Amino acid sequence: MLSFWDRRAEFVSLTLMAFIAACGGGGGGASGDSASGGSAEGTMAAVVDESTAATITGAVAFSGAPVEAKAIDMSEESVCADKYSMPPMTQRVVVNDNGTLRNVFIYVKEGLGDLTFPTPSEPVVLDQDGCRYHPHVFGVQVGQDITIKNSDGVLHNINSKPSENRGFNISQPVVMETTRSFRTPEIGIPLECDVHGWMQAYVSVVEHPYFAVTGEDGSFSLTPLPPGTYVIEAWHDVYGTATQEVTVGENEEAEIAFTFGDAAA
């Protein structure tokens, strides 16, 4: 069942694509690998003129007292405990060696105007391995499939707890895959396993491919964006959200910085 907005989005993007195709192609050609949205690369080129495209990059710094990760007691689940040589640690606050914060979801909150983007056909994979979610924080586009995989072969239930979307709570007692998606934009939907209380992941649902999750170096890059003024939001499960407004011109690259942590509050 598609909502009115989904239908409209689909209609607009299809028309746009048809129009561009009829005019002999838009930006085409250069499809770099820097796009944060990942799988929507090819279709993005149809919407955004890459010859003038802009980029927003940056990093998320962590300030304040270092937060010590706790060891997770997996002794009740030997199948998972046996997958680790060192005790697995909690992932809520992970500070990188260069002082940046990992697992921050960065996305374009405002500024894309009426642009619409097709739903990527490639699913995002959420794996349950060693009684942890991989990845811990991730993004999808509205309607994009999430393939939920159980690689452990012990009972996991995937209990999503959205507020703007309808949730789900499905059981996977064996090695198997299940596919679900969300229909409404929403940031930071918790996914939890009630069987293993320490298992948590967060999925954010946006209408476009301009999102990223900070990794081992705490950096992010949103591209290829149409030149313009954007509100960029950073979300972290413990520290909440922060936003910044930034303007980028044709072929420009703008750099912004976020800071999270106790001292930043």
Partner 1 sequence: MNKWPVFCLALSAFLVPTAGAAGQDVQAGQILYDKWCAGCHGFDGAGDGYAADYMLPRPRDFTLGIYQIRTTSNGSLPTDEDLVHVIDKGMPGTAMPGWEAKFSSSQINDVAAYIKTFSPFFEREGAPDPLEFGRQPRREGIAEGREFFEQIECFKCHGDAGRGDGPSAPTLQDDLDFPIRAADLTENWNFNGGGSVEDIYRRLRTGMDGSPMPSFSDLIDAQFMTEEQLWHVAQYVHSLSPEEGPTISDVIVARRFEGDLPASPNDSLWNQAEAFYIPMVGQIIADERWFAPSVDGLWVSAAHNDEQLALLIVWHDPSESPDPKWLEWQQSVAASMFPLLDSVGVTPLPDRLTVQFPTSIPTGRDRPYFLMGDARNPVYLWQWSSQGDVVPEATATGLGNVQPRRGESRTLASSAVWHQGEWRLQFGRSLATPDSEAELQFATGELIPIAFYAWDGSNGEQGSQRAVSSWYGIHLEQPTPPSVYLSPVIAMALTVGLGLLVVWRAQRREEG
Instruction: State the number of binding residues for partner 1 (CB under 8 A).
Output: 26
**What is the β-pairing status of strands 169-172 and 137-141?**
unpaired
Candidates 39-47, 168-176, 201-209, 251-259: pick the segment binding partner 1 (CB under 8 A): 168-176
What is the x/- site pattern for partner 1, positions 48-87, by CB under 8 A? ----------------------------x-----------
Q: How many helices (H) and strands (E) does the chain have?
A: 3, 16
- Per the CB < 8 A criterion, the answer to whether 210 and 225 are in contact is yes
Q: Report the C-alpha gap between 259 and 95 in whole angstroms.
A: 12
132 contacts partner 1 (rule: CB under 8 A): no
Nearer to partner 1, 92 or 221 (CB): 92
Report the Cα–Cα distance between both ends of the chain, in Å, rounded.
42
217 contacts partner 1 (rule: CB under 8 A): no
157 contacts partner 1 (rule: CB under 8 A): yes
Residue 235 CB, nearest approach to partner 1 (Å): 20
169 contacts partner 1 (rule: CB under 8 A): yes
Per DSSP, 178 falls in state E
Give phi and psi for 214, each to the nearest 5: -70, 140
Residue type, 129: D
The residue within the footprint of partner 1, chosen from 110, 129, 194, 262 (CB under 8 A), is 194
34 contacts partner 1 (rule: CB under 8 A): no
Residue 10 CB, nearest approach to partner 1 (Å): 18
Within 8 A by CB and 6+ apart from 160, the residues are 167, 168, 169, 180, 189, 190, 191, 192, 203
Sheet holding 253-260, edge to edge: 219-225, 54-62, 253-260
Q: Which of 90, 98, 132, 129 is nearest to 215 (CA)?
A: 98
Candidates 29-37, 156-164, 218-226, 252-260: pick the segment binding partner 1 (CB under 8 A): 156-164
Q: Residue 192 is encoded by which pair of tokens?
A: 């939890």
98 contacts partner 1 (rule: CB under 8 A): no
3 contacts partner 1 (rule: CB under 8 A): yes
Candidates 31-39, 111-119, 191-199, 248-256: pick the segment binding partner 1 (CB under 8 A): 191-199
What are the residues binding partner 1 (CB under 8 A)?
A: 1, 3, 76, 154-155, 157-159, 161, 163, 166-174, 176-178, 194-197
